[in-house]
Amino acid sequence: MEKIHTTCVYCGCGCGLFLHVEDGQVVGVSPSPSHPMSRGRLCIKGWLAHEFLRHPDRLRTPLIREGDRLRKATWKEALNLTHQRLSDLLDSHGPDSLAVLTSAKGTNEENYLWMKFARAALGTNNVDHAARLCHAPTLAGLGQAFGSGSMTNSIESLGQADVILVTGSNTTEQHPLVASYILEAQARGGTLMVLDPRRTQLAGLADIYVPTLPGSDVAWINAILNVIIAEGLVDREFVDARTEGFEQVREVVSRYTPEAVQEICGIPAQRLREIARIYAEAERSAIVYAMGITQHVTGTDNVQALANLALATGNLGRPGTGICPLRGHQNVQGACDMGALPDFYCGYQRVLLAREKFEKAWGLSLPEKPGLTAVELMAAAREGRIRGMVISGENPMVSYPDRERIKEALEALEFLVATDIFPTETTALADVVLPVASFAEKDGTFTSTERRVQRVRKATDPPGEALTEWQVTAELLSRFGIETCYQSASEVMEEIAALAPQYGGISYDRLGIEGLHWPCPDVNHPGTPILHGQAFSIGRGRFRAVDYRPPHEAPDQEYPFLLSTGRSLYHFHTGTMTRRVPLLDREVPGPSVEINPADARNLGIREANRVTLESRRGRVSARAHLTEGIPPGMLFMAFHFQEAPANQLTASALDPLSKMPGLKISAVRIRRDDQ
Ligand X SMILES: Nc1nc2c(c(=O)[nH]1)N[C@H]1C(S)=C(S)[C@@H](COP(=O)(O)OP(=O)(O)OC[C@H]3O[C@@H](n4cnc5c(=O)[nH]c(N)nc54)[C@H](O)[C@@H]3O)O[C@H]1N2
Binding site for ligand SF4 (CB under 6 A): 8, 10-11, 13-15, 42-43, 45-46, 176-177
134 contacts Mo ion (rule: CB under 5 A)? yes
Write down the least CB distance from residue 580 to Mo ion, Å: 20
Binders of ligand X among residues 393 to 432 (CB under 6 A) are 393-396, 399, 419-422, 424
Kindly state whether residue 167 participates in binding ligand X, applying the rule CB under 6 A. yes
CB of 29 to ligand X, least distance (A): 16
Annotate 241-298 with DSSP letters as a single string.
HHEE-HHHHHHHHTT--HHHHHHHH---HHHHHHHHHHHHHSSSEEEEE-HHHHSSTT
Q: Which residue from 329, 387, 452 is spatially nearest to 88, judged by alpha carbons? A: 387
From the CB of 425, what's the least distance to ligand SF4, in Å? 23
Q: Which residues pair with 566 in a beta bridge?
A: 638
182 contacts: CB under 8 Å, gap ≥ 6: 158, 159, 164, 166, 171, 192, 202, 288
The DSSP string of 518-549 is SP--STT----SS-SSS-BTTBSEE-------
Q: Which is nearer to Mo ion, 161 or 398 (CB)?
A: 398
| Residue nearer to ligand SF4 on the CB measure, 82 or 170 | 170
Which of 162, 217, 337, 402 forms a contact with ligand X (CB under 6 A)?
Answer: 217
The residue (of 340 and 366) whose beta carbon lies closer to ligand X is 340
Length of the chain: 675
User: Residue 663: which of ligand SF4, Mo ion, ligand X, none does it interact with, CB under 5 to 8 A by kind?
Assistant: ligand X
Displacement of CA 100 from its chain's centroid (Å): 17
- In what helix (H) or strand (E) does residue 65 lie, and over which residues does it extend? strand 63-66
Among 14, 46, 62, 106, which residue interacts with ligand X (rule: CB under 6 A)?
Answer: 106
Q: Is 328 in the site for Mo ion (CB under 5 A)?
A: yes
Does residue 386 interact with Mo ion by CB under 5 A?
Answer: no
Q: Which conformational region is residue 317 in: left (phi greater than 0), alpha (psi within -120 to 50 degrees), or beta?
A: left
Which entry of Mo ion, ligand X, ligand SF4, none binds 177, CB below 5 to 8 A by partner kind? ligand SF4
Query: Would you count residue 439 as binding ligand X (CB under 6 A)?
Result: yes
Strands 127-128 and 98-101: parallel
510 binds, among ligand SF4, Mo ion, ligand X, none (CB under 5 to 8 A by kind): none
401 binds Mo ion per the rule CB under 5 A: no
- Residue 42 or 101: which CB sits closer to ligand SF4? 42
Q: Where are the alpha helices (DSSP H) in 440-574?
A: 469-479, 489-499, 508-511
- Residue 576 CA to residue 306 CA, distance in Å, equals 34
Does 170 help bind ligand X (rule: CB under 6 A)? yes
Q: Which helix (H) or strand (E) holds 26?
A: strand 25-31
Considering only residues 51, 109, 162, 196, which one is a binding residue for ligand X as defined by CB under 6 A?
196
Q: Determine if 566 is a binding residue for Mo ion (CB under 5 A).
A: no
Burial 564-574 (b: 16+ CB within 10 A, else e): bbbbbbbbbbb
Task: Give, as one character, the DSSP assignment of residue 328.
Answer: -
Q: Which is nearer to ligand SF4, 46 or 62 (CB)?
A: 46
CB of 291 to Mo ion, least distance (A): 7
174: contact with ligand X by CB under 6 A: yes
User: What are phi and psi for residue 468, nearest 5 degrees?
Assistant: -70, 130
x-or-dash string of contact with ligand X, 110-149, rule CB under 6 A? --------------------x--xx---------------
User: Which of Mo ion, ligand X, ligand SF4, none interacts with 197 (beta carbon under 5 to 8 A by kind)?
Assistant: ligand X
**Phi, psi dihedrals of residue 420, rounded to the nearest 5°:** -165, 175
- Backbone CA torsion sign across 600, 551, 174, 225: negative
Largest CA distance in the chain: 70
**Beta carbon nearer to ligand X, 50 or 198:** 198
- Tell me if 641 contacts ligand X by CB under 6 A: no
**Residue 8 binding result from ligand SF4, Mo ion, ligand X, none, given CB thresholds of 5 to 8 Å by partner type:** ligand SF4
Q: Please say which residue, 150 or 427, places its beta carbon nearer to ligand SF4.
A: 150
Q: Which residues pair with 26 in a beta bridge?
A: 21
State which of residues 111, 157, 285, 564 lies at the interface with ligand X (CB under 6 A): 564
Residues 6+ apart with CB under 8 A from 560: 633, 667, 669
CB 504 within 8 A of CB 521: yes
Residues lying near Mo ion in the complex (CB under 5 A) are found at 134, 328
Question: Interface with ligand X by CB under 6 A: which residues?
Answer: 11, 103-106, 130, 133-134, 167-170, 173-175, 195-198, 200, 212, 214-215, 217, 290-293, 295, 328-329, 392-396, 399, 419-422, 424, 436, 438-439, 469, 564-567, 569, 571-574, 576-577, 639, 646-647, 650, 663-664
